[in-house]
Amino acid sequence: MTEQQRVADSSAVPEPSMSDAQGGDASPTVSTDQVKVVKVKHLPIDEDMHGFLARLGVELPEALITQALTHRSFSYENGGEPHNERLEFLGDSILGQAVTVKLFRDHPDLSEGTLAKRRSSLVSSVALAEVARHIELGQHLRLGRGEELTGGREKDSILADTVEAIIGAVFVGLGPVVANDFVLGLVTPLFADPDRFGAAMDPKTSLQEAAADLGLTPPHYTVTGQGPDHDRIFTAVVSVGDRATGTGTGSSKKQAEVAAALNAWTVLNRQEEDAAAETAEGA
């Protein structure tokens, strides 16, 4: 492939073939009569798209990458332009399969329950949002005005959904083998410490379990609020014995407690890692 990129002549995204879904031919599903050639710099998304595609390590048809980056809010405000939710649906399945197979092969000693918990962590919104920030995805999102004004480019949920949509686009455009390799290229670095994403998914439970494992008293929360009823901000402080204290804020008591729990869990986990490192050095 030269510096030029094959792109779809129509905004309609071609559907994956049955042979692709069954792990057959990995060649692109976009036929030659559906495409034309344009230079990457002419892609109508933004001027940095060439660099973004280089970070992804793939070349995709214009219609696919455009749709993968298009949030529903943009579609609603622009005449129903195709958005990324169908690609997200497809990408979610491909992501789950790739992660499941890697975990199964890499950890023959782990039980089904442990594997399932680890998989949930690795495909969580928190984990995928970290992937999205690493490839600087946020600046390329196509968002509606409302999402733009409310910080949509930094929302974990939108970033994670778009990562899945891009995975779906890679499957449609380049086939199952390339899609699997693409997924592993994105998420393999996360396998080094998958448990931290599990804590982010349910910080209060993770903190309670950590306290029990270490023989500490259960977490104790104190929540205060300030501001008018329609714009109240809550602050939570949680303590775990004399080992860790966490603080968090939110627009509800629950949000504040969750943020505080994650803060305390991070502190407690770091203490345990430091203690383990000191023990290893002294051995």
Q: Which residues are annotated as a binding site for Mg(2+)?
A: 88, 161, 164
- Which residues are part of a known binding site? 88, 161, 164
CA 165 and chain centroid, separation: 11
Question: What is the Cα–Cα distance from 112 to 16, expressed in whole angstroms?
Answer: 31
> For the chain, how many residues are written?
283
CA distance 215 to 242: 12
Query: What Rg value do the Cα atoms of the chain yield, rounded?
Result: 22
Q: Which helix (H) or strand (E) holds 19?
A: helix 18-21
Distance from CA of residue 262 to its chain's centroid? Answer: 18
Q: Tell me which residues are annotated as active site.
A: 92, 164
CA–CA separation, 70 vs 81, rounded Å? 8
